[in-house]
């Protein structure tokens, strides 16, 4: 957390004691995990009042909570409704923190162009991945669902470099991802982007076969991959 140490909030609230700060951060994580939107919002305000850096509130509070949620999802304790309601709690708190994040400037991690590949509208998994990557500090460009290959390429060209992440839940549409990788190549953008793919019918061997860089089995895996690429880059 070198950034937050470098960027201590000046003026306004006096910094609260470390124990109080730790309590608020773990409270934020717990509120997300408990699907408690009200508590998440209240604690986001308390975090700001206690002089906690907004970025730290996200990374050390909310996204830790979301990591617990994701772990519970992987273990079959939480399912899609729980993930979405936990995410709502996280987003409600992020709304409180966001203006203060902006004041701190960009967070400097890579841009990610993400979407559900054309022909498919199943976007819950994609939304969870977007959320986790966003919480991990990546600059997300979410194109939504049923995204034409051309739109991915267009957005990638605009962004210039980083990561392209595509998902599908359907075996009938997964081959559009092969077209996506080819289209990035044709546009001369393939070298500027890492490509990760995910979704029900996919596999690591499928990712290799279509020329993607990696397959992410779940949101945690997507964050691990993106973070590893980020470290290799910087």
Q: Does 142 engage in binding with other proteins (CB under 8 A)? A: no
Q: Which strands make up the sheet holding 214-215, listed edge to edge?
A: 139-142, 111-116, 162-167, 193-198, 214-215
**Which region among 78-86, 96-104, 130-138, 216-224 touches other proteins (by CB under 8 A)?**
78-86
Yes or no: say if 139 and 106 are a contact pair by the CB < 8 Å rule: yes
Q: Does 11 engage in binding with other proteins (CB under 8 A)? A: no
Q: Does 211 engage in binding with other proteins (CB under 8 A)? A: no
- Within 23-62, the residues that bind other proteins by CB under 8 A are 35
Give the residue with the Cβ less far from other proteins, 50 or 89. Answer: 89
Distance of alpha carbon 199 from alpha carbon 60, whole angstroms:
28
Give the residue with the Cβ less far from other proteins, 23 or 82. Answer: 82
Yes or no: say if 151 and 200 are a contact pair by the CB < 8 Å rule: no
158 to 177: interface string for other proteins, x by CB under 8 A: -------------xxxx---
Give the residue with the Cβ less far from other proteins, 51 or 211. Answer: 211
For the record, the structure tokens of 20 come out as: 């109080």
Q: Which residues, in sequence order, are CB contacts of 205 under 8 Å at separation 6+?
A: none
CB of 145 to other proteins, least distance (A): 9
Distance of alpha carbon 79 from alpha carbon 25, whole angstroms:
25
């Amino acid at each position: 957390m070198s950034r937050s140490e470098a960027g201590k909030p000046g003026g306004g609230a006096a910094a609260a004691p470390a124990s109080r700060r730790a309590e608020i951060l773990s409270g934020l994580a717990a509120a997300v995990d408990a699907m408690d939107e009200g508590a998440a919002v209240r604690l986001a305000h308390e975090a700001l009042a206690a002089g906690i850096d907004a970025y730290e509130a996200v990374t050390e509070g909310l996204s830790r909570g979301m990591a617990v949620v994701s772990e519970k999802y992987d273990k079959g304790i939480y399912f899609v409704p729980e993930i979405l309601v936990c995410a709502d709690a996280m987003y409600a708190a992020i709304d409180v923190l966001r203006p203060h994040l902006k004041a701190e400037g960009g967070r400097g991690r890579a841009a990610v162009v993400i979407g559900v590949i054309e022909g498919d509208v199943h976007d819950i998994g994609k939304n969870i991945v977007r959320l986790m990557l966003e919480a991990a500090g990546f600059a997300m460009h979410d194109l939504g669902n049923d995204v034409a290959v051309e739109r991915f390429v267009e957005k990638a060209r605009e962004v210039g470099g980083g990561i392209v992440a595509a998902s599908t839940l359907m075996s009938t549409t997964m081959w559009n991802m092969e077209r996506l990788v080819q289209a990035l190549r044709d546009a001369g953008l393939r070298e500027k982007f890492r490509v990760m793919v995910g979704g029900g019918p996919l596999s690591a061997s499928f990712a290799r076969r279509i020329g993607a860089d990696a397959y992410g089995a779940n949101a945690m895996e997507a964050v691990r991959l993106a973070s590893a690429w980020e470290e290799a880059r910087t």
